[in-house]
Chain A
Amino acid sequence: MAHFTCEVVYRGIFQKNLASRICRGIVLSARKAGRWGIAFGRYGDSPQRNGIPAKDFAIVADSQEELEQNMARYEPQEVDVTICVDDTLSKGVESWAWYGLQPINRLTLPNGTLLMTSLQPAEDLLKDIHKKDAPYALTLLRAKASFSGLWVYREDHTEARILGALSRIKPDFLSLDAVCQAIEEAEWGSDLKVASARKAHERLETRLVNVTEGNPETPFSFEKPKWWEMREGVSIPAIPVGKPMEGGKGYVPERNPYFKKFTSRTMRPVIDFDKCVKCTLCWLQCPDSCFDVTPDDLYDANMDACCGCGVCEAVCPAKECITMVSEAAFDDNASQWEMWRKDKDTYRTWLTATVSDTAHVVRSHGFRFRGQYEQELRQDLDTGGIEITTGIPGENAAAKTA
């Protein structure tokens, strides 16, 4: 009697089909050894929303009865492997399905594995990943966050590489041969993808993480009210009017203390306050009211509230005043304006370094990096990927019945 449970933490819409492919791949690979399985999404999530963190699960077991035994909890409470397909989720996850910030490794079993696609060094990721009260393995597959699986997206083999990696992590459940066979047979499968899976199997980087390592911050949480404490009539109180920032000047809106939304963010605005013309457009157009008005009439993007949509950068008329930068470049949500006010020279040095780092500022609308194929696939080739061919929805599609 044995079972294997896995979660895939992904970003809404862009990676929805990717996560589904990975979970299906797990079940179909395990089926090769006669095991039973189920693949499902966290239903309370809203994976159609741009960038919202969401989860898929796969459970496989030796028998149907054992599978049921492990499905009795609607959402698994612990998993052997947490798969994270966007390393900016290492800062934690706040989805539509729950309240509060959940560390990325929250469900990972003691001595389990957190498998991430990332180009960051493990040490950098561990500045973001919360501390855990049990040791676990941080296993890295060298790759950028994939858009693979979006309907019109070119295949980048991420699902195949993840499955190949799993066959290394849990060979007793997913043998490399079984994984390769399942990929071969998948609607989206191909011989090239099988080769990618085999390479990924060989090229994993694993680092054990002990209980002293990781981000020591306590994730924010929220206690839900009892039925008799809730207002009747399906009504909730409005967010109160905000207040001046200091000395009767500026304006800070009240914000929902229980739902912060910042884990939807993959980029954040970096603001050059010396170039700001105080036109108010960023403050007006921000869909999340994330800008605080400072006493000197500047606009400071509050990083607890910012979803990273990039509208502020798009509407800003001042040249190079707002620059969207990958979330991977930051370790906290501290105020940029406070930093600027405190020491302008230090701020300028930091600003210049941050916005001129091309690894972090080449980006696309609303979600991450523009030009990632030109730049990154070459890198992937060197580190484990293989040449990409076109194929929508998959090179084998014609031969499939699904």
Chain B
Amino acid sequence: MAVETKTIAAAPGDTEMLISGSEACAEALALADIDVVTAYPIRPYDTVMQAIAKKIANGKLVAEYIVAEGEHSQFEIVKHASTVGARVFCGSSGVGWMYAMECLTVTPPLRVPMVAMVGNRALDDPGAFGVEHNDALVVRDLGWMLIWVDTAQEMLDTALLAYRIAEDRRVFLPIAISADGAFLTHSQALVQVPTKAKVDRFLPKYDRGDLQLHPDNPITVAPQANEDWVIEIRRQNNEAMTRAYTVIEEAYADFRKVFGRGPDNPWFEEYMTADAEVILMGMGTISLPLKVGIRNMRAQGKKVGLIRPRWFRPFPTEKMVAALSRASAIGVIDRDYSFGSPFGSGVVANEVRAALYNADKRPPLLSFIGGLGGREVTLEDVYKTADMCFAAATAGKSDLKTHWLGVRE
């Protein structure tokens, strides 16, 4: 049974710390010895910039820390720093991420391997702090690699992996690590922090090679182009994203070797899926009520499992289809919305539907939207979704609509 144990044995030399997801990110950044970081406050991402500032102030990290006058500049500055060979970090949340939108679109075609942290936050209006995934998902079509993490430990590990993957010359694309605001960014959990020596073995130096802006390597980056050039550039980007599949697999394999932990399957976490009739899906910290609910339902003999996607871009189509095809019904809970989309579903549900379209076995798929704006997804919600999925499995078909969870009706 694909049960991932979350109990981490401390490896020799590791330090155990009680830190939040944001602080875990900062630990990884110090271990990765980043060169340039830009900051502009917005909750919940600001907890990362505070943690990095503290590291620099305490002499634990030497890096340029530039407080920008807004997110647009914030992302523009690190983009430029990366082109001259600096390892960079940036981040934001919600509408702050949106304010950087122009820079976010130009980063992937310039092949800038920036690592960003998105503290997921509901987009205004209304002004709210709670989690929704629409902020990070906005860049899903642009060449950003997107990953959702679930725990502070996974945040630390993923940040190290992200530099390794993004800075691989075969890829050279930016990565946004999404962390649910509150549940992950602001909760302090016990985290195993590896030694610098291990990280150095895992993470090579950033080498931009012939793409480095330097007087000894005179190049122009981002010249204006007409219709004679653009589609070829898009084709290059697509190739880089395609190559990322291999690079990600390699990076996780190396990570397991060096650090003695990490998932066998980089793409998604499977929890009690081996014999599951119903598979529930959701990204990020929604896994907590889902896992607890699944354990409780298992105690009643209901065969339910969880797939928690990590990588959303690149999307692990074949592996996801193979895992889902084993189920009799699938329930996808989106912590996002896509108004006017097919069936009114969220982004993840429709991506999964698209992935399954040519599959030999297409289990009924029910679409749910829940947890918006940080609303709690309760165990009752989980039981309800599972029961509806069991009914769909018996009927052998989906109901082709989207069910909202936890709304005051």
A binding-site residues for B, Cβ under 8 Å: 23-24, 27-28, 31, 36-41, 43-44, 63-65, 68-69, 71-75, 224-228, 234, 401-402
Contact partner, A43, options B129, B291, B409, Cβ 8 Å? B129
Query: Which chain A positions have C-beta within 8 A of B291?
Result: 68
B125 at the interface (CB under 8 A from A): yes
B233 within 8 A of A: no
Residues of A within 8 A of B288 (CB): 68, 71-72
A226 contacts B408, C-beta separation under 8 Å? yes
Chain A CB within 10 A, most for which of B16, B189, B376, B378: B189
Query: For window 321-363 of chain B, which residues contact chain A by CB distance below 8 Å?
Result: none
Q: A31 and B190: CB pair below 8 A?
A: yes
With known contacts A36-B190, A225-B408, A72–B18 Cβ distance under 8 A? no
Q: Given that A43-B130, A68-B288, A69-B292 are contacting pairs, would A74 and B183 also be in contact in the complex, using a CB cutoff of 8 Å? A: yes
Contact A43 B186 (CB under 8 A): yes
A74: nearest chain-B partner, CB-CB: B376
Measured CB to CB, the closest approach of chain B to A41, in angstroms, equals: 6
B6 in contact with A64 (CB, 8 Å): yes
3 tightest CB-CB pairs across the interface, nearest first? A43-B182, A40-B187, A72-B292
Q: How many chain B residues have a CB neighbour from A under 8 Å? A: 32
The answer to whether B129 and A234 have CB atoms under 8 Å apart is no
Contact of B126 with A by CB under 8 A: yes
Contact with A along B24-65 (1 / 0, CB 8 A): 000000000000000000000000000000000000100000
Q: Does B402 contact A (CB under 8 A)?
A: no
Q: How far is the CA of A38 from the CA of B183 in the complex (A)?
A: 11
Shortest C-beta distance, A221 to chain B (Å), equals 15
Chain A residues with Cβ below 8 Å from B60 are: 401
> What residues of B have a CB within 8 angstroms of the CB of A44 in the complex?
129-130, 374
Kindly provide the distance from the CB of B248 to the nearest chain A CB, expressed in whole angstroms: 27
* Nearest CB in chain A to that of B6: its residue: A64
Alpha-carbon gap, A370 to B125, bound state (A): 41
- Residues of A within 8 Å of B18, CB to CB, are 24, 27-28, 31, 37, 39
B125 touches A234 (CB 8 A): yes
Q: Does B143 contact A (CB under 8 A)?
A: no
Partner of B293, one of A27, A72, A224: A72
Give the complex CA separation of A228 and B6 in angstroms.
Answer: 42
Q: Please measure, in the bound complex, the distance between the C-alpha atom of A64 and the C-alpha atom of B6, giving whole angstroms.
A: 8
A39 touches B407 (CB 8 A): no
How far is it, in angstroms, between the C-alpha of A72 and the C-alpha of B18 when the chains are bound?
20
Closest to A42 in B: B182
Interface string of B119-138 (1 = CB under 8 A from A): 00000011001100000000
Tell me the nearest residue of chain B to A75, going by C-beta. B376
Task: Kindly state the separation between the CA atoms of A69 and B183 in the bound complex, as whole angstroms.
Answer: 15
B355–chain A nearest beta-carbon distance, Å: 29
**A227, B372: Cα distance in complex, Å:** 13
A37 CA to B19 CA, complexed, in Å: 11
- B246 interface hit (Cβ, 8 Å): no
Contact A43-B190, Cβ < 8 Å, known A64-B6, A227-B409? no
- Residue B289 contacts which of A65, A72, A225 (CB distance < 8 angstroms)? A72
Given contacts A43-B129, A43-B182, 14 further A-B contacts (CB under 8 A): A27-B18, A28-B18, A37-B190, A38-B189, A41-B186, A43-B130, A43-B181, A44-B130, A65-B295, A69-B292, A72-B288, A72-B293, A226-B409, A401-B60
